[in-house]
Structure 1
Amino acid sequence: MPGAIGTAGAALLPWLGVALLGAVVLAIVFARRMLFLVLIPVVVWAVAIAPSLPTPATTSSAAPLTIVSQNVRAHSGGAGASAEELAASGADVIALVELDGDSLGAASEALAERYPHSYAVGTVGVWSRYPIVAAEPLTLGLDWKRALRVAVEGPESEIALYVLHAASVRPGHQDGRDTMLAGLARTVTADPADALVVVGDFNAASTDPAMNALRTGLDWVRPTDGSLGLTWPAAFPLTRIDQVFARGVTVLSSTTVHAGNSDHLATKTVVDG
C-alpha cells in the first residue's frame, strides 16, 4: 500500500509481531477456539516480515571490503567522534550523511591521514582507503544535492558506491523522499557497473512500498548478526531507516554499530572487494 499508510505500516511492522504474540498467548489461555482465527494475521505478518529477517554470514576467498555508513546528525557536534570510531571499526570506506559545514570539517580532519581519498557534496560525503576513480553529485529529482556516486578501486575490483541522504518524512509530507527513491531506482538500474553498493539514510523502513523499485533491481542487504538491524533511534532502535542495497557483489556480513553521539546507528557491511 503506497503513501503514508504504507510508510507507517512498514515502520510498525516489526512491532506488530509483539502484539500478535500477545494475542496468541491470550487465545491459548482464555479462548483456544479462537486460536485459528488469531493465527491468520500471524501468517500474514510472517509473510510480510520475511524479506527483512536476518540471514547467515558467508565467506569468500576474495579480499573483503568493509563499508560503513552513518547519519551523523547535523549540528550535533559528533561527526568527528563518529568518524574516529568508524575508522577504528576497521572500515575501508566510510560514508557519512546529514553533514553540515562544521561536521564535514571535523570528519575530514579526523580521517585525512588514514583515508586519503574522499569526495563530499551537499549533505553527504565518502572517505576511502582505496582510490576513488570517479565521482559525481546526484540530486535525484530535488533542487539540491543529497546523494553521490563514486567508483572505488577496491582490492580486487572496481565498485560503484552510492551514498544517499533521503529527504525527511513527516505526516502528510513524503513526496521529496519518494521522488529521491524513485530517482535512485532509475539511476542504479541504468548504471552499467558490474559491482554496485548503495548505502545511507533512506528515511524509509525496510519494507516501505516506496523502495519496491529498488528491490526489483537490487538485493536488499539483510543483517547477518541475528537481529533485524534496526538503526533509529540509536538509544532504543525501533525501525531500520538506514539501508544497504547491493548488486554484483557477495555480502559476507552486515550489522549495525554505535558511533559518536548520533541518533542513528551505523551500518557496517563487508563485501568481496
Structure 2
Amino acid sequence: MAESKIKATDGGSSGWAWRRGWPFLIAVALLTALIAGHRLIPNVRGLGSLVDSAAPFLGLGVPLLGLAALLRRSWIALAAVLVPALLWVALFGTAWLPDGGGGSVRLRVASQNLRAGNPDPAATVASLAETGPDLIALQEISGDTREPVAGALVEHYPHRAAVSTVALWSRFPIREDVGVDTGLAWTRALRAVVAAPGGDVVVYVVHLGSARAGDTGTRDRTVATLADQIRQDRAERLIVLGDLNTATTDRMLEPLTELLRDAQADAGRGPGFTWPAAMPVTRPDHVLYRGLTAAYARVLHTPASDHRAVTAGFR
C-alpha cells in the first residue's frame, strides 16, 4: 500500500504535467484563429477594420502565452505556441526581411500630413526637403501654413499644384493638375501630370475621409471612390501619395491595393508605422504606385507634425 501511495503521489505532482496545458491550448487556438482569420470578423461599425489594422500586434500574444506555459510547466502548451508564432512570422514577420529594392533612383517622392494648426510648418517641410525628394505631397495645408511652407520650398521646388488642403511641390514641371472628387463635401485630392525623368508620371495627392471608432463609413466610401478614379485612369506610370486614414492590413484598403503596389511592402523594412508621430502604431500614410519599380521606402520623423512622413524612390 505504501508503494502504491508513492506512485500515485509522484504521478499527480511530478514533472511538467501535460494536463496543465489544456487551458493554454484553448488560448493558443484562439490566438491562431485570430491571426489567420481576422479578416473574417464582420466589419460591423468598423470592428473588422479595427482588428485588421491592429493585426500585426497580435504577435504580442505569442511571448505572453509562451511565458505562461513556462510558468505552468506545460510542455504541450509551450510546443503549441509555435503554431501562432510561425503563422505570425509568415504573415507579418517577412516585412523585416531585407527589402527587394535597390538600384539607381530616378524619382524620389515624399508625403507628409502637415497637421492642422502646425506651430512650425516651415520646419516640418524643411526637414522633409533635406532628404532630397523630387516631389513633396502635403495634406492638411491651410491658409495659415501656405506662406511659410512656400517660403521653405520655393527655392528648390519651383512647381506647385494645390487644391483645398492638399498640395504637390515639384522640382519638375507640372503639365496639368485638377481636383479629384473622392465623395467628401469638399475636394481633398488632386491629380497632377509631372514631367519626370523617363516620361510623364501621374501623381495623386490624397487625404481620404476620416475614420472614427465605430464609424468608418465615410473613409470606406472615399477609398472606393478613389479606386474607381484610379481604375479609369489610363496613365501607365502612376503614384498615389497621401493620408488614406487606414492601415495596409485593413481589408477596406483592398480596392486600392488590388490596383496598385505598396512601396513600403516592396522596398521598405518593417511595418513603416507613421501615426502618432511620437510613438507610431499604425500606417495611414502611403506611397502606392504602378508602372515603376520601387528602389526604397522609408519613414521620416519630422518636427511639429502628428504624423511621420513617408518617402520612396523609384527607378
With the length of structure 1 as denominator, give the TM-score of the two structures. Answer: 0.91
- Which one scores higher on RCO, CA 8 angstroms, separation ≥ 6? 1
| 1:64-143 matched pairs, under 5 angstroms | 64-143=106-185
The one-letter amino acid of 2:305's match is: S
Segments of 5+ residues of structure 1 without an aligned counterpart are: none
Alpha-carbon distance between aligned partners in 2 of 1:43 and 1:227, rounded to the nearest angstrom: 17
Q: Which residue of 2 aligns with 1:265?
A: 308
- Conservation of the 8 A alpha-carbon contact between 2:158 and 2:169: yes
Q: Distance in 2 between matches of 1:261 and 1:85?
A: 10
Bigger-Rg structure (1/2): 2
Q: TM-score, normalised by structure 2?
A: 0.80
Matches within 5 A, 1:138-177: 138-177=180-219
Aligned pairs, number: 271
Asked whether the 8 Å contact 1:195–1:247 carries over to 2, the reply is yes
Contact 2:287 2:311 in 1 (8 A): no
Gaps of 5+ in 2: 1-38
Please give the per-residue CA displacement for 1:145-192, whole angstroms capped at 9, x wherever unaligned: 111111111122211111111121112222111111111111111111
- How far apart are residue 212 of structure 1 and its match? 0.9
Query: Is residue 2:294 matched to residue 1:251?
Result: yes
Greater CA deviation, 235-244 or 124-133? Answer: 235-244
Q: Deviations over 1:183-207 (max 9, x none)?
A: 1111111111111111111110111
The reply to whether residue 14 of structure 1 matches residue 56 of structure 2 is yes
Amino acid at match of 2:99: P
CA contact under 8 A between 1:167 and 1:177: conserved in structure 2? yes
How far apart are residue 36 of structure 1 and its match? 4.8
DSSP-derived class of the 1:205 partner: coil
Instruction: Tell me if structure 2 keeps the 8 A contact 1:53–1:222.
Output: no
Report the equivalent of 2:235. Answer: 193
- Partner amino acid, structure 2, of 1:230: F
SS of 1:177's equivalent in the other structure is helix
Q: Does 2:31 correspond to 1:31?
A: no
Q: Secondary structure at the match of 1:217?
A: coil
Question: Aligned partners of 2:247 and 2:113: how far apart in 1?
Answer: 15
Task: State the one-letter code of the partner of 1:90.
Answer: G
* Closer/same/farther in 2, CA of residues 149 and 205 from structure 1, 3 Å limit: same
In the alignment, the residues of structure 2 paired with residue 74 and residue 11 of structure 1 have an alpha-carbon distance, to the nearest angstrom, of 24
Name 1:241's counterpart in structure 2: 284
Q: Which moved more, 1:227-236 or 1:37-46?
A: 37-46
Shift of 1:66: 0.7
Bigger proportion of residues as helix: 2
Are the structure 2 counterparts of residues 141 and 51 from structure 1 closer, same or farther at C-alpha, using a change threshold of 3 Å?
farther
- Asked if structure 2 preserves the Cα contact closer than 8 Å seen for 1:253 and 1:269, the reply is yes
Q: CA RMSD in A?
A: 2.0
Q: Secondary structure at the match of 2:141?
A: coil
Q: Secondary structure at the match of 1:118?
A: strand
Please state whether the residue corresponding to 2:117 is helix, strand or coil.
Answer: coil
> Partners of 1:51 and 1:175 in 2: how far apart?
31
Amino acid at match of 1:153: A
Residue range with higher mean Cα deviation, 122-131 or 8-17: 8-17
Percent identity, please. Answer: 35
How many Å apart are 1:226 and its aligned residue?
Answer: 2.7
CA distance in 2, matches of 1:101, 1:133: 25
- 1:15-51 Cα offsets, whole Å, 9 max, x none, are 2112223223433553221235434444554454368
